[in-house]
C-alpha cells in the first residue's frame, strides 16, 4: 500500500495553468494506483481570480481511495501582501491536515516556491520522499520585479533565497516545466534528479472545431489569461491597439494590473480593446473559435527568458495564427516548434510592426505534429509513473 499526498495551491474547478496541470496529473495517477493505495489532495477553494467564483465542496471523495481537501483562503487581488496572507492560510491548514498521515510520497506542484517549501516541510516531518514539480523560478521573478520597481520588498529576497535553497536541496526528484530552468536549479542541487515534463494540451481542445464561422468582416485578436505584472499588458496593449486599429482586441481574464490597463486605455481614448471577465473553459473554446489571431506577452524581465508559458500549448491547438511578445527559451521554443507564429521583442511595438507588416496570415494552419507530441495526458502519464515509482 502506498500513501501519496498531492499539494497544489490550485485545483479544479479553479481557472489557471496550475489547476489544469494538477487535475490532469491526478487523473493519470488514478489510473496507476492499486485498490489499497491512498491519495490525498490538499488544495484551496477557487481563488485565482477575484471575479471568478464557483461553489465546490471543501471535502470530496473520489472513488474509494482518493480524497480532496480544499482550504478556504478567501479571494485575493494578486498583490504580494494579500497573496502572502492567502498562502499562510493554506500552509497552516495543509500542515494540520497532513499531520500523522504517514505519507510515503509527497508530490508538490509549485510556481511561487512556497507550495514546494510546504511539501519539503511535510516530507521532512513525515520522513517521506519528495517530488517537486517546478513551474516557475519564484526568486528569479521576484528579484526582477522588486529591483526594477525599487520595492522595499526586495529586502525579503535573502530570506526567500534560504527557503529556496533548503527546498531544492531536500527534493528526491525535481521536474522542471521548462528546460530554461535547468542551469538555475543545477547550481542549487547538482544531483541527477531532473526531468522535463512540460505543460500540454488538454482533451477539451483536441476534439473541438476551432474554424471560425465568417459572419462579418470583423477581425479579432484575443489574449486569454492573467493580467498581471508578468504579462505587462498595461504597457503593450495600448501601443499595439493603435497599430492594429482594423482589429478588435479581446482581453479575457483578470489580475493585479487590470486597473492600470483600463486606465491606460481610457487615457489614450482607445476603443478597439474589449475587456472580458474570466470564463469557463467551455466558453473560452468559443472565444478562440471567434478569433483570428491569439496573442501572448511576457514583460521584458530577465527572469522570463527562462520560462515556457503554458498558453503556448493551448493556443497552438486552435490552428490560429499566434503573436507572441517573448524572449529567451520561449522565443526559441515557438520559433522551432510552432508554425504560423510571429515572435517580437517584449514591450517593443516597433519590432512588432516591422515584423507584422511582412507576414501573410492564412486559414489553412495545421500543427498536427505539435499536437500529437504535446498531448497533456501522455505527458502526465509519464510523470505520474515517475512519481508512483519514486
Alpha-carbon distance of 228 to 209, in angstroms, equals 30
Residue 290 burial (CB count, 10 A): 15
Q: How many CB atoms lie within 10 A of CB 313?
A: 24
* Beta carbons within 8 Å of 287's beta carbon, 6+ residues apart: 222, 224, 250, 252, 276, 279
User: For residues 371 and 201, is the Cβ–Cβ distance under 8 A?
Assistant: yes
Domains 3-200+376-388 and 203-373 belong to one CATH topology:
yes
Mean pLDDT of the chain: 92
pLDDT at position 349 is 96
Question: What distance in Å separates the CA atoms of residue 274 and residue 267, rounded to the nearest whole number?
Answer: 15
pLDDT band with cut points at 50, 70 and 90 for residue 16: confident
Per CATH, the homologous superfamily of domain 203-373 is Glycogen Phosphorylase B; (3.40.50.2000)
Identify the residue whose cell numbers are 482586441. Answer: 249
Kindly report, residue by residue over 92-105, the tens digit of the pLDDT.
999 999 998 999 99
Q: Would you state the pLDDT for residue 209?
A: 94
**Closest by Cα among 61, 46, 38 to 9:** 46
- The pLDDT, as a whole number, for residue 372 is 96
> Which of the listed CATH numbers 3.40.50.300, 3.40.50.150, 3.40.50.2000, 2.170.190.11 matches domain 3-200+376-388?
3.40.50.2000
Q: Which of 188, 193, 190 is CA-nearest to residue 176?
A: 193
Predicted model pTM: 0.91
In sequence order, the 6+-apart residues with CB closer than 8 A to the CB of 82 are 76
Stretch among 92-96, 217-221, 295-299, 368-372 having the lowest mean pLDDT:
217-221
- Coil, helix or strand at residue 209: coil
For the chain, the structural domain boundaries read: 3-200+376-388, 203-373
What's the rounded Cα separation, in Å, for the pair 279 and 375? 23
What are the angstrom distances between the C-alpha of 105 and each of 9, 39, 119? 18, 10, 10
Separation between Cα atoms, residue 186 and residue 194, nearest integer Å = 9
> What per-residue confidence (pLDDT) applies to 258?
95
Averaged pLDDT, 326-337: 97
Question: Over 80: is that where the pLDDT of 52 sits?
Answer: no
**Residue 50 in this model has a pLDDT that exceeds 60:** no
pLDDT for 354 equals 96
Kindly tell me if the per-residue pLDDT of 343 is higher than 80.
yes
CA 89 – CA 97 distance, rounded (Å): 12
Phi-psi region of 319 (alpha: psi -120 to 50; beta: other; left: phi over 0): left
pLDDT tens digits, one per residue of 194-204: 999 999 999 99
Q: Which three cell numbers stand for residue 63?
A: 472513488
Nearest to 96 by CA among 68, 57, 69: 69
C-alpha cell recorded at residue 337 = 516548434
Range with lowest mean pLDDT among 41-45, 63-67, 231-235:
63-67
Out of 35-49, 192-206, 227-241, 287-301, which region has the weakest mean confidence (pLDDT)?
Answer: 35-49
Amino acid at each position: 500500500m502506498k500513501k501519496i499526498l498531492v499539494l497544489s495551491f490550485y485545483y479544479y474547478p479553479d481557472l489557471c495553468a496550475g489547476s489544469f496541470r494538477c487535475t490532469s496529473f491526478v487523473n493519470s495517477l488514478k489510473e496507476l494506483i492499486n485498490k489499497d493505495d491512498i491519495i490525498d489532495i490538499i488544495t484551496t477553494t477557487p481563488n485565482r481570480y477575484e471575479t471568478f467564483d464557483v461553489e465546490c465542496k471543501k471535502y470530496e471523495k473520489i472513488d474509494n481511495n482518493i480524497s480532496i481537501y480544499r482550504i478556504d483562503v478567501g479571494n485575493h487581488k494578486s498583490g504580494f501582501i494579500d497573496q502572502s496572507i492567502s498562502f499562510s492560510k493554506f500552509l497552516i491548514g495543509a500542515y494540520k491536515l497532513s499531520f500523522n498521515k504517514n505519507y510515503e510520497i509527497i508530490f508538490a506542484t509549485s510556481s511561487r516556491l512556497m507550495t514546494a517549501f510546504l511539501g519539503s516541510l511535510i516530507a521532512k516531518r513525515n520522513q517521506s520522499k519528495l517530488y517537486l514539480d517546478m513551474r516557475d523560478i519564484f526568486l528569479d521573478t521576484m528579484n526582477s520585479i522588486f529591483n526594477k520597481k525599487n520595492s522595499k520588498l526586495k529586502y525579503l529576497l535573502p530570506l526567500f533565497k534560504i527557503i529556496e535553497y533548503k527546498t531544492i536541496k531536500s527534493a528526491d526528484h525535481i521536474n522542471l516545466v521548462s528546460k530554461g530552468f535547468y542551469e538555475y536549479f543545477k547550481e542549487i542541487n547538482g544531483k541527477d534528479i531532473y526531468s522535463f515534463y512540460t505543460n500540454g494540451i488538454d482533451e477539451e481542445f483536441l476534439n473541438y472545431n476551432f474554424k471560425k464561422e465568417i459572419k462579418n468582416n470583423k477581425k479579432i485578436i484575443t489574449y486569454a489569461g492573467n493580467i498581471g505584472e508578468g504579462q505587462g499588458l498595461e504597457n503593450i496593449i495600448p501601443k499595439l491597439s493603435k497599430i492594429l486599429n482594423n482589429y478588435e482586441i479581446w482581453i479575457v481574464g483578470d489580475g493585479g494590473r487590470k486597473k492600470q490597463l483600463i486606465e491606460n486605455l481610457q487615457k489614450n481614448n482607445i476603443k478597439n480593446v474589449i475587456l472580458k471577465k474570466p470564463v469557463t473553459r467551455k466558453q473560452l473554446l468559443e472565444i478562440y473559435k471567434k478569433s483570428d489571431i491569439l496573442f501572448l506577452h511576457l514583460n521584458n524581465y530577465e527572469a522570463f527568458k527562462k520560462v515556457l508559458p503554458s498558453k503556448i500549448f493551448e493556443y497552438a491547438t486552435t490552428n490560429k495564427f499566434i503573436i507572441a511578445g517573448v524572449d529567451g527559451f520561449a522565443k526559441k521554443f515557438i520559433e522551432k516548434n510552432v508554425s504560423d507564429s510571429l515572435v517580437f521583442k517584449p514591450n517593443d511595438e516597433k519590432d512588432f510592426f516591422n515584423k507584422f507588416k511582412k507576414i501573410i496570415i492564412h486559414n489553412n494552419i495545421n500543427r498536427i505534429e505539435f499536437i500529437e507530441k504535446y498531448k497533456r495526458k501522455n505527458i502526465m502519464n509519464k510523470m505520474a509513473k515517475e512519481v508512483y515509482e519514486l
